[in-house]
Chain A
Amino acid sequence: MTEAHTSPLVVADVEAVENPTFDEGMESKIQRILKRYPDQDAALLPVLWLCQERWGWISPGVMRAVGQRLDLSPAFVESVTSFYTMYQLRPPGKYLLQVCTTLSCQLCGTSGLVEHLKEKLGIDFGETTADGRFTLVDVQCLGACGEAPVVQINNDYYTNLTADSLDEILDGLDG
C-alpha cells in the first residue's frame, strides 16, 4: 500500500556523467543545503542525494565533481559514497526493486516473492533486466516489519505483498 505514484528513475548513461556539471537549479539547491550546516563537509550526503536524483547513480565523474564543489578529495568522496548502500555506483534500471530479506519479512513469506520475481524478470539479485526497466536487489530490514513482506520500489514502500499483488503493481508502473 502506498499513497504516492512511483515514478521511474532518471538514469544517465555512462558518457553523460563522465564530466558532469551542476546547472543553475542544482547550484541553488546546493546553496540551500550549505546553509543548514556550520561546516561545508556536512553537505556531502545531501549533495550526493541531489546528484543521484539528477543522474540516477553516482559515477566516478560525479564523485569528482562533488569533491571539487565541496573541496573534498575524490578519494574521500568515494570512501563515503561506497560506505552507504543506497548510493548506486552503477546505473540501475528505471525501477529499483529492493526486497527486504530480513527476519520479519522472511517469516511472512519473502522467499516465495523472491523466487517469483527472479523467474518473472529472468534476473538474479544485483542484476538489471535487458530492457533496463528493472533492477532487483536484496536489502536489509526496511523498518516496516508490521506490513511484511515489503518491497521498496524507488521511493515508495509496497507492503503486505503476495506474488499476485506484486505482479499487479509491476504491471501498473509507467513507461
Chain B
Amino acid sequence: MEPLLLAARGVKNSRALASYLNRGGYKALAKAMAMDPAEVIDEVKASGVRGRGGAGFPAGVKWSFVPKDLPKPKYMICNADESEPGTFKDRELILVDPHEVLEGIAIASYAIGAHTAYIYIRGEFVREAEILERAIAEARRKHFLGKDIVGSEYDLEIHVHRGAGAYICGEETALIESIEGKRGQPRLKPPFPAVVGLFGCPTVVNNVETLACVPHIIERGGAWFASIGTERSTGTKLFCVSGHVERPGVYEAPMGTTFREIIDGMCGGIRNGRKLKAFIPGGSSAPILPADRVDTPADFDSVAEAGSMLGSGGVIVMDDTVDMVWALENLLTFYAHESCGQCTPCREGSDWALDIVRRIRRGYGHAGDLETLHRIARFASQGMTICPLGDAFCGPISSFLEHFGGEFEAAIAAAEKPATTVLPILPVRSDHALFETEEAG
C-alpha cells in the first residue's frame, strides 16, 4: 500500500510548511477543532491506534484517562527520546515531515484540553531539534500554533525540551522528571501521569509515530484507519531494520506484514548472500527470535505469541556469522550502562549479568553460570523494579539462553582458564541470599 506517515519521502522541501499545506496539511486540525474534544477522543479510540513507543497501549484510551473537571492545567508531551537500540523511526519522521508530528500534537492537545505541549527530544538529535524549532516558528506565524489557532479561541504553545543522554528518559515518568529538571529516574505508578504527571498536573505522553498517525485518523476517520493492518493492531507501522540486511532503513507497512516480507522483500534479504540466524523484532529489549520464526506477522499479538514483542518496531537482523554470546554481552553492556540505579535488582542485576556473560565469552565461564543468569532474569523482571528496564534486560537474557543456550554451554565447556580467576572490571560475586529465598518460594 501507499505510505501514510512517510508519504512525503522524496518530496522536495518536504519539511517546509508550504509543502505540508500543499499535501493537505493542517486540514485535520481544523476539522478536529470543529469537533467536541470528546468526539476527537472517540475517533482515536475507534481507530484502535496503539502506542508506537513500545508499550502498545491504545492511545485514545490513554487520552480518555485525563480527568475533565480538575481545575489544573493539562500537559501534552511528545516523546521523541528514541533511545531503544535498533529504533530510528521518529528521527525519520522529524527529518521528513515535522509538521505532520506538530499537527498530531496539536490535535492531541486539543482533545485533552492542554494549552502547553513539550516535545522531549534526545540530546543527540541537535539538528532534529532545530528542525522542530523552525517548524514550530513557521506554524506559529500562520496561526496553526500560538494564540487563537485556526481561527478558534484555543491557544497552544509547543516547546522543544532537549534531553541530555539517558536511555531511561524514554520511560514516560522518567521523561517527566527530566523536564522538571531532575535526574531521569522513573516514578512509581499509580498515580499515572494522566492524573498526576508533569508539574503534578494531568499529562499525556505519546510517541512521535503515534502522534503522526493522529492527523490521518481525524482526516479519514477512525474506521478507515482500523481497516488497515490486523483486527487488534491497526494502521501502518514504521519498521526500522538494521544489521545484516542488504538495504537497512525505515520501512512503512501495514501491521501484520511478516518479518520475512520485511527482511527478504523490502530490505533485499541478508547481506552478502548469507543466511538469517536470528532477529530481534522490536528494539533491543524485545526477546530475540530464531530464524524459523521469520514468518511471524509483525503485529502486537502475533509477535507476543511467538515469544517476543513488537515494541518499537526496531528489527535487528543477524546473519549466521554472529556469535550469540558476544551479541548478548553487547546488549547487556547497554543496559548496565543505562540502568538509572534506582532499583537494586536492575542496578546490580544488569552489571552482574554483564560480568557473567563477559566472563563466558573470554573463556572464563563455569558450570553454574547459566543457572545464575536465569535467576537474575527471574529476579529483576516482572514487577520487581519501578520501571520496565528490569524486564528490558531480562528478556534478552532469557531468550538468548532459550534459543541459543548451546553456544553459551559450548563456550563454558571450552573454557580452559581456571573458574576462580577474576577477570572482569567488576568482581565475580557468589550467589546472593535473596535468590535462594526466591528459589525456595
- Interface residues of chain A, those whose CB is within 8 Å of chain B, are 2-4, 36-39, 41-46, 48-49, 70, 72, 79-80, 83-87, 98, 101-104, 106-108, 139-148, 152, 155-157
Contact = CB atoms under 8 A, between A and B. Distances in A.
B417 interface: no
Q: Name the residue among B83, B179, B199 with the largest chain A CB count within 10 angstroms.
A: B179
Contacts of B159: 36
B88 interface: yes
Interface in B146-184: 157, 159, 161-167, 178-184
Interface stretch (B102-110, B239-247, B368-376, B399-407): B239-247
Contacts of B91: 143-144
B337 interface: yes
A101 B330 CA distance: 8
Interface in B104-127: 122-127
Contact of B334 (A37, A48, A140, A156): A140
A148 B243 CA distance: 8
Contacts of A147: 248
B331 A145 contact: no
A86 B164 contact: yes
A106 to B, nearest CB: 6
Contact of B248 (A4, A80, A103, A145): A145
Interface residues of B, number: 54
A107 B83 contact: no
Nearest to B317: A107
B250 A102 contact: no
Given A38-B73, A49-B164, A143 B87 contact: yes
Interface core residue of A41, A72, A85, A147 (most chain B CB under 10 Å): A85
Contacts of B125: 143
A107 B183 contact: no
A89 B179 CA distance: 21
Nearest to B280: A103
B86 interface: yes
Contact of A145 (B87, B161, B167): B87
A84 B334 contact: no
Given A38-B199, A103-B327, A141 B183 contact: no
A83 B316 contact: no
A145 B184 contact: no
Nearest to B166: A84
**What are the 9 closest A-B residue pairs judged by CB atoms, nearest first?**
A44-B181, A84-B164, A86-B165, A145-B242, A85-B165, A104-B242, A155-B126, A141-B85, A83-B183
A144 B88 contact: yes
B166 A83 contact: yes
Contacts of A103: 85-86, 243, 284, 316, 327, 330-331, 334
A42 B181 contact: yes
B162 A107 contact: no
A23 B199 CA distance: 30
Contacts of A98: 124
Interface of B: 73, 82-88, 90-91, 122-127, 157, 159, 161-167, 178-184, 199, 240-244, 248-250, 284, 314, 316, 318, 322, 327, 330-331, 333-334, 337-338, 340
Contact of B184 (A38, A42, A83): A83
Contacts of A108: 242-243
Given A102-B330, A104-B316, A140-B338, A86 B124 contact: yes
A28 B314 CA distance: 41
Given A39-B199, A104-B243, A107-B322, A3 B165 contact: no
Given A144-B91, A146-B241, A107 B318 contact: yes
Given A39-B180, A46-B162, A156 B244 contact: no
A143 B88 contact: yes
| B85, B178, B183: residue with the most chain A Cβ atoms closer than 10 Å | B85
B181 A45 contact: yes
A45 B166 contact: no
A72 to B, nearest CB: 8
A44 B161 CA distance: 11
Contacts of B87: 143, 145
A79 B184 CA distance: 11
Contacts of B164: 45, 48-49, 84-87
A41 B124 contact: no
**Most chain B CB within a 10 A radius of its CB, from A39, A85, A141, A152:** A141
Contacts of A42: 179-181, 199
25 contacts: A2-B127, A36-B157, A37-B179, A42-B180, A44-B181, A45-B178, A49-B164, A70-B181, A83-B166, A83-B340, A84-B123, A84-B166, A87-B164, A102-B330, A103-B243, A103-B284, A140-B337, A140-B338, A141-B86, A143-B90, A143-B122, A146-B240, A147-B248, A155-B127, A156-B127
A43 B181 contact: yes
A44 B163 CA distance: 11
Contacts of B183: 79-80, 83
B248 A49 contact: no
Contacts of A45: 161-164, 178-179, 181
